[in-house]
Amino acid sequence: MTPLVLPGGKYALYIWPAYGVSALGFAWMILDTVLRARRWKRRAERLETER
Amino acid sequence: MFAALANPLRFMAFSRWAAPILGLAALLLTGAGLTLGLSAPPDYQQGDTVWIMFVHVPAAWAAMLAYGCLGGASFISLVFRHALADQAAKAAAPLGAAFTGLALVTGSLWGRPMWGAWWVWGDARLVSVLVLFLLFLAYLALRASIDDEAKAARAGEILALIGLINLPIIHFSVEWWNTLHQGESILRPGGPALAPVYLLPLLLTGAGYSFAFGALWLARTRAEVWRRRATALALQAALR
């Protein structure tokens, strides 16, 4: 079986973790923002209708 | 523009379409920048590690943009007592902390193969960006530690305004002190030092990250407006 070789040569060990961490950071920012917005919008709308 | 958006209803109407448009622009610009960047040839000095620049530098720019927005919104909230400005300031802080964290981690991953060290305490650029990260965390901790929202807002605004002094320190740190970090390579007399093959993808990803911050900032500010609305309605219901 051919081992997986990432582009970047001897520096691949540093390059791809940098891209991985960036992707994780963006994933957290987007998820946290969307879930927070949805949660508070729903709560505000529910309280509005109960008024 | 500012006066128009200071009205929460107008802001909610504006941000409803502006946030997705900014998000789409961020996706396209970052995608184009990374596609071009990852097909760029290795740098004659830094080899393939130059690819880290396309995620490190935009994160650092977005972090400084986020603090500028935090400081600006805090100033408007403190001076003009606009509730929306305070909500915008509060929304900018977690994003700023995340972008600063990304700049620090990706910078460390770039520094290890180039400088032989993950971190250098004597480097003014590194330490001033760490101070920026701590300022974001301190702002978040301060706001979370005070129950009274108005008092928490005032304390946060003062901290955010004091912290603004760090932005020029970060920018000029590579000129004022001897550092391992490379000097100014874009906004410098005589034009950018970067070859176009690196400069164009860097500017594209830089714009993409900034637009991403803009989209997420608008969305988080909307969430904060809803949170306060829900809190006010819950209080009204409890008092009935």
Reported as a single tens digit per residue, the pLDDT across B168-192 is 999 999 888 888 888 778 877 778 8
Chain A residues close to B47, C-beta within 8 Å:
9, 11
Q: What is the mean pLDDT of chain B?
A: 93
User: If pLDDT is split at 50, 70 and 90, which confidence band does A35 have?
Assistant: very high
pLDDT at A7: 80
Chain B residues close to A30, C-beta within 8 Å:
216
Residue B136 has pLDDT above 70, yes or no: yes
Task: Return the amino acid letter for B181.
Answer: H
CA-to-CA distance for B52 and B50, rounded, in angstroms? 5
Nearest to B46 by CA among B120, B99, B109: B109
Chain B residues close to A40, C-beta within 8 Å:
223-224, 226-227, 229-230
B104 touches chain A (CB under 8 A): no
User: If pLDDT is split at 50, 70 and 90, which confidence band does B15 have?
Assistant: very high
Measured in degrees and rounded to the nearest 5, phi and psi for residue B47 equal 60, -145
pLDDT at B59: 98
Residues 6+ apart with CB under 8 A from B194: B185, B186, B202
Query: Span B203-217, mean pLDDT?
Result: 98
What angle do the packed helices B53-80 and B149-163 form, to 10 degrees?
120
Q: Say if residues B70 and B139 touch (Cβ distance below 8 Å).
A: yes
Inspect the interface and report whether the beta carbons of B113 and A14 lie closer than 8 Å: yes
| Residue in chain B lying closest to A41 (CA) | B226
Residue percentage of chain B with pLDDT more than 70: 98
pLDDT at B22: 98
Inspect the interface and report whether the beta carbons of A14 and B230 lie closer than 8 Å: no
pLDDT at B184: 79
Q: Which residue has the higher pLDDT, B131 or B41?
A: B131
pLDDT at A1: 59
Residue B97 has pLDDT above 70, yes or no: yes
Residue B207 has pLDDT above 90, yes or no: yes
User: If pLDDT is split at 50, 70 and 90, which confidence band does B52 have?
Assistant: very high
Question: How distant, in Å, are the alpha carbons of A36, B38, B85, B129, B195 from that of B225?
Answer: 11, 40, 11, 30, 44
Residue A5 has pLDDT above 70, yes or no: no
- Say what the pTM is: 0.94
What angle do the packed helices A12-50 and B83-115 form, to 10 degrees?
170
Residue B114 has pLDDT above 70, yes or no: yes
pLDDT at B3: 65
Residue B85 has pLDDT above 80, yes or no: yes
Q: For the segment B137-150, what is each residue's pLDDT rounded down to a tens digit?
A: 999 999 999 999 99
B90 touches chain A (CB under 8 A): no
Task: Return the amino acid letter for B72.
Answer: G
Inspect the interface and report whether the beta carbons of A51 and B106 lie closer than 8 Å: no
